[in-house]
Amino acid sequence: MESCKSLSGKVALVTGAASGIGRAVATNLAGRGATVIATDVNADGCQALAEETRQAGGDLRIVIADMLSQNWIETITADVAEVDLLANVAGILDGFAPVDEMTDALWAKVFAINVKGPMQTMRAFLPGMVKKGTGAIVNVASIAGISGTGGGAAYTSSKHALVGLTRNTAKMYFRDNIRCNAIAPGGTITGIDLTMSSERGRAAIQPYFELIPPPATADQVAASVCWLLSADASNVNGAVLSTDGGWSVL
């Protein structure tokens, strides 16, 4: 059986690859032999990742695309026909804003990146997976996707939606030998903006920070993504794997 240590011959698309978890996932997959397509809006971060990967002997190319642009997915599909593995990592927070502080613009932006983006990548590449009769997808949700903590109203709602999207996709495509899972990280050392711009949000969340486990490294979270994408997890489908150091059981 193919091991997580070998993904040779696989083509993997990673969104949000310029920094944090996405960067670690892209590096991880390339180190295991996959051909990685790394996409992000951050061109400098992608270029640095590509250079480091080449120096390490990995196979990685970049596609610069902005999820908030109307035709961002066409930018990717014009360059990438089919993939075997898909890691939807890109995501943003919302300043921990509660409902009465939520603007329509912030709500739309968070859902565009955290939910619409993963839907669009899956919609674009699932037909190719169906044609091949195989594929694996991992969506990066959050502890906020299985509880009411970890973010504001938009972020929490978007991650709940991403969990639902993951489970529905797993159900719809399991007969095509396509697996779709999610991970739910807790605190993670990444490039995501953790600013608590909402006073109410800060007051509600901050007292719990002393109780929750220390933040994980991006590499620790990426290892879980790699496992779910590999054949080592061939019997795991529709799961939401908590990678939170135990936060969800506190």
Q: Is residue 1 very low, low, confident or very high in pLDDT (cuts 50, 70, 90)?
A: very low
Interhelix angle 20-31/218-229, nearest 10 degrees: 50
pLDDT tens-place string over residues 176-203? 999 999 999 987 667 565 566 677 766 7
More confident residue, 118 or 244: 118
Question: What pLDDT score does 203 carry?
Answer: 77
Known catalytic residues are 155
- The pLDDT value recorded for residue 193 is 59
pTM: 0.89
Return d(Cα 76, Cα 56) in angstroms, integer.
Answer: 25
Is 153 or 2 the better-scoring residue by pLDDT?
153
pLDDT of 165 over the 80 cut: yes
Task: Name the residue with higher pLDDT: 178 or 210.
Answer: 178
Look at residue 2 in the predicted model and tell me its pLDDT. 41
Whether 145 and 240 have beta carbons less than 8 Å apart is answered as: yes
List domains and CATH numbers for the chain. 11-241 (3.40.50.720)
